[in-house]
A and B are shown apart, each in its own frame.
Chain A
Amino acid sequence: MSETRHPPVWQHRTTGKRLLMWFGWLCLVALCVLCWQIMTKDTIWAFVSDAPRQAADLGSRMIPPRWSYLERLWLPLWDTLNIATLGTLLGILFAIPVAFLAASNTTPSRVLVRPIALFIIVASRSINSLIWALLLVSIIGPGLLAGIIAIGLRSIGFVAKLLYEAIEETDILQVEAVTATGASPAQVLNYGIVPQILPAFYGISVFRWDINIRESTILGLVGAGGIGMQLQASLNTLAWPQVTMIFIVILATVVVSEWVSAKVRHIII
C-alpha cells in the first residue's frame, strides 16, 4: 500500500514479503468482485435506480410523525423494558453457573464439562435474540414470555463469556491463600474468587441490560411482545407516520438506556 511512496533504495519489507502481500490484497479484491457478482445476480437494477424516488416518496409519507399515536405506545414501551430487564435477570441466572463451568480454573472437568459449557456459550452467542424469539414464538406462542426467554437465552452466552474470562484472570495467590486455610471448594469460591470478579460482573450485567433494551424493541416484529408489535402492525398497514413515531420512541429509549448504563458503570467501577 504505502510502500510505493518510499524511496526505492529503502524498503522496510523484503521483496518476497511485498509480493506476497500484494498477492493477498489481489485475492481479496478478486473474491470481493466474485461475491458481488453472485450476490447481485438476481438484483433488479430498475428498482435500485428507482430508489432515490422511492426514498423521497417514503420520506414524504413518514413525515410528520403521528404524535397522537404516542399515548398508545406507553404500555408497549413498559412491556419492552420489562422484557429487557427480566430477560437480563434470567440470562444472568443461567450465565453464572455456565461461566464457572467454563473457566479453566474453576471447571470440575476440563475434558468433559468445559467443552459443553463452551458450546452453550458459542451457541447462545451465535444466534441473535430475534432468531431465538422466532423459535420461541413458534414453540410457546406469541407474547412477553417468548421475548423474555429469547433475551435470556441470548444473554447467557454474552455474560458467561465475559464472566469466565474475568474468572480466568483472577489472582491465583489470593485463591491459594484461602485454600491454605482449609476452606472447602464452595468457600474458596465465595472468599477467593467472587470478591475478585464482582466489579466485572456488575459491569457486564449493566452493559448487557443496555444491549437488551435495544434488542427487545424489535422482538415484537416476530410476535414476542413489546413496542415491536406496534411496529409490525403499523408496517403491515403501511401506516408510515406511526412507524416514524415508533422509531422516535425507540431511539429515545436506546439513548436513555445507554446513558443510564454508562452512569451506573461509572459509579460501580
Chain B
Amino acid sequence: MLDVSNISKIYAAGDKALDNVSFSVPAGQVVGLIGPSGAGKSTLIRCVNRLVEPTSGSISLAGKTITGLSSGELRSVRRRIGMIFQEYALVERLTVMENVLSGRLGYVSFWRSFTRRYPAADVQQAFALLDRVGLIDHASKRADALSGGQRQRVGIARALEQNPELLLIDEPTASLDPKTSRQIMRLLIEICRERQLPAIINIHDVVLAKQFTERLIGLKAGRIVFDGAPTELSETVLTTIYGEEDWKTLDSDMEAA
C-alpha cells in the first residue's frame, strides 16, 4: 500500500533528520512509530504527504510514486492522505462544520469552498462523521469552544472527510489527559478497522503504542532500529531506542493504566 524507500532528509541548517529510512505498510495495518524526541518521527510522517520535502529517496502510495510531483498532482495525492495533528491544528476561529468540510478542499472548486456551498453528499458525510465521533450537536459551534478531546475528534472527522486511503497521525494524544488519550486511541483504531485503513501513528507513549498498534517501528537519530510486533519489544530493544533506563517498571505502568 505505502512504500517508503531510502528516504533521507537533511535540513537547511545541516541537521540530518532522516537517514536512509525504508519500510512498507500493507493495507489495513496500523503502525506505531516510536522513538525519543528529535528522532525524526514527525519529519518522517510529514515526508509521506510532503509537508516536508525529503532530500532523497522515494515514496509510493498504491503503486504510484508521490515524490517529485508537480504541485497540482501533489494536491491530489495529499487529499488521499488524511492527517491528524498533535495540537489538533483546527482552524480555531472557524466552526466545527467548516473544519470538517475543509477535508473536501482538495475536491471542490475555490468558489464552492469560498461560499461554503459544498456538494450535498459532502455535507451529509460530514454530518455522519460528526455523528460517528459524537459531536453532531456541536456542528455550528466555533472550534475554540470545544475541549481538547472534542477538538481531536473534530480533527479525526476532518481527516476522514477526505475519504483517505492512508492516515498519518502525529502524536494524537500528546496534549490530552490519560483518560481522553485512551478514548481517542480506541476511536482511531476502531475507525481504521472499520475502513481497512492503513495508518502510521507517531506516538511517544510506549504503553499506549504497545496496547493499540499491531506493529511498531522504532526510530533513533533518523534510523530505523526496530521493526516488529509489539510483543517483540523487549527491554533490550527499548534500551536501543531510548537509551539506558529501568524498563521493568513499564509493565507495572501498564497494569496501572
Q: Do chains A and B touch in the complex (CB under 8 A)?
A: yes
Cβ of B91 within 8 Å of any chain A Cβ, yes or no, is: yes
Q: Does A195 reach chain B (CB closer than 8 Å)?
A: yes
Q: Once bound together, how far apart are the Cα atoms of A192 and B143, in whole Å?
A: 13
**CB proximity of B182 to chain A, nearest CB, Å:** 24
Once bound together, how far apart are the Cα atoms of A173 and B81, in whole Å?
Answer: 17
A177 surroundings in chain B (CB, below 8 A): 83, 85, 89-91, 155, 158
Please tell me if the beta carbons of B110 and A182 are within 8 angstroms of each other in the complex. Answer: no
Number of interface residues of A (CB under 8 A): 21
Flag if B75 contacts A184 (CB, 8 Å). yes
Given contacts A187-B110, A191-B102, are A180 and B81 in contact (CB under 8 A)?
A: yes
Contact A173 B85 (CB under 8 A): yes
B79 at interface, CB cutoff 8 A: yes
**Shortest beta-carbon distance, A186 to chain B, in Å?**
5
A184 to B105, CA, bound (A): 8
Q: Is A196 within 8 A of B103, CB to CB?
A: no
Contact B85 A182 (CB under 8 A): no
Task: Say yes or no: A191 contacts B89, CB within 8 Å.
Answer: no
Distance between Cα atoms of A196 and B106 in the complex (Å): 21
What is the CB-to-nearest-CB distance from B55 to chain A, in angstroms, rounded to a whole number? 20
Looking at the assembled complex, report how far the CB atom of B52 sits from the nearest CB atom of chain A, in whole angstroms: 10
A191 touches B78 (CB 8 A): no
Q: A176–B155 Cα gap in the complex (Å)?
A: 13
Residue of A nearest to B98 (CB): A191
Q: Which A residues lie within 8 Å of B77 (CB)?
A: 182
A183 within 8 A of B: yes
Cα of A183 to Cα of B83 in the assembled complex, Å: 13
Give the distance in Å from the alpha carbon of A187 to the alpha carbon of B107 in the complex. 11
Does A179 interact with chain B (Cβ within 8 Å)? yes
5 closest A-B pairs by beta carbon, nearest first, are A182-B106, A182-B79, A177-B89, A183-B105, A182-B78
Residues of A162-200 contacting chain B, CB below 8 A: 171, 173-174, 176-184, 186-187, 190-192, 195-196, 198-199
Interchain CA distance A197-B79 in the complex, whole Å: 26
Task: Check B158 against A181 for contact (C-beta < 8 Å).
Answer: yes
Taking a contact as CB atoms under 8 Å apart, the answer to whether B102 and A183 are in contact is yes
- Say yes or no: is B162 at the interface (Cβ < 8 Å to chain A): yes
User: Is the Cβ of B91 less than 8 Å from the Cβ of A181?
Assistant: no
In chain B between 43 and 86, which residues have their CB closer than 8 angstroms to a CB of chain A?
49, 51, 75-81, 83, 85
B87 is an interface residue with CB less than 8 A from chain A: yes
Give the distance in Å from the alpha carbon of A178 to the alpha carbon of B83 in the complex: 10
- Check B189 for interface membership: any CB of A closer than 8 A: no
A180 nearest CB neighbor, chain B only: B83
Can you name the residue of chain B whose Cβ is closest to the Cβ of A174?
A: B91
- Minimum CB–CB distance from B199 to chain A (whole Å) comes to 14
Query: Which residues of B sit under 8 angstroms from A196, Cβ to Cβ?
Result: 91-93
- Considering the chains assembled together, what is the distance between the CA atoms of A182 and B51 in angstroms? 11
A190-B114, A191-B113 known; A182 and B105 CB under 8 Å? yes
Question: Are B76 and A182 in contact, with the CB atoms below 8 A?
Answer: yes
Q: Write out the residue numbers on chain B whose beta carbons fall within 8 Å of the beta carbon of A180.
A: 49, 51, 78, 81, 83
Do A179 and B93 touch across chains, with their CB atoms under 8 A apart? Answer: no
Q: Is there an interface contact between A195 and B110, defined as CB atoms closer than 8 Å?
A: no
**Does B94 lie at the interface of the complex (its beta carbon under 8 Å from any beta carbon of A)?**
yes
Interface pair B94/A181, CB less than 8 Å apart: no
**Which positions 186-224 of chain A face chain B at CB distance < 8 Å?**
186-187, 190-192, 195-196, 198-199
Contact between A184 and B110 (Cβ–Cβ < 8 Å)?
yes
Chain A min CB distance to B173 (Å): 16
**Closest Cβ of chain A: how far from B160's Cβ, in Å?**
11
CA distance A244 to B215 in the complex (A): 84
